[in-house]
Amino acid sequence: MIAIIAAMRAEVDALLALMKNVHEQTKDGILFWEGILADKSVVLMLSGVGKGNAALSTTLLLKNYDVSQLVNIGTAGGLKSNEEVLDLVISACIVQHDFDTSALDGESGIGLHFVADASLKSLCEKVCEQQQVPYHVGMIASGDQFVSDPMLITSLLNKFQNALCAEMEAGGIAQVCTHFQIPFVVLRSLSDIAVKDDNHLEFMTYVQYASKRSAALCLELVKALR
């Protein structure tokens, strides 16, 4: 079964609107929706915000469902000035940017990295090409902060020059999927450009649009999956 995870209600609702035969269930306080997307059985989960919520709920998801592939959808904040709101970002890898044991371990203690599934990543690229939507492929920075503060952005980009966007769950999801050897990919749409001023206001304006775009591309990805 294909599993899809989104952190916020707006992100979940955007995908629910595209699903058929939806059946809602709560397990250990986590909301799941089983249903059909593009003629395939899927389970959608609301993870809640942050890496802790994401890791907890992803573990429950994998313990309750027979998951073959996992897609994390939703919004993210762009970290590059050449990015535009609503652009898609596809994970090649994910770094937990706020993981830091460098005081003990030196440079190797900065960030915790996870690699996304190569074929899911390629399929996302193909789907973005087909749909003619602008997209970026590379590193996604995951941490327990809404990234807005210029000092935080400078420090984050100093440590992870290649980070394309910031979000708050993929690091937890990627860690759990890696542990249980479940192929995963992160497919997010930019709700705000964190390196521009007032991105928290931009987020409010674009969260619904970006959620819809990420869900729409997820539908195309699921169509393309074998």
**Residues lying near ligand ADE in the complex (CB under 6 A):** 75-77, 146-148, 166-168, 191-192, 194, 199, 203
Q: Which is nearer to ligand ADE, 47 or 191 (CB)?
A: 191
Catalytic pick from 83, 167, 169, 192? 192
Say how many C-beta atoms besides its own lie within 10 A of residue 22's C-beta: 14
Distance in Å, CB of 1 to ligand ADE, minimum: 27
Distance in Å, CB of 121 to ligand ADE, minimum: 20
For residues 120 and 183, the answer to whether their CB atoms sit within 8 Å is yes
Q: Which is nearer to ligand ADE, 97 or 121 (CB)?
A: 97
Tokens coding 27: 């397990």
- DSSP H helices, 65-179, are 102-105, 118-131, 150-159, 170-179
Distance in Å, CB of 164 to ligand ADE, minimum: 12
Residue 98 is a catalytic residue = no
- Which residues sit opposite 141 in a β-bridge? 95, 166
Residue 197 is a catalytic residue = no
For residues 170 and 7, the answer to whether their CB atoms sit within 8 Å is no
Q: Which is nearer to ligand ADE, 146 or 180 (CB)?
A: 146
Query: Where do we find the tokens 């909301």?
Result: 31
Active site residues: 11, 192
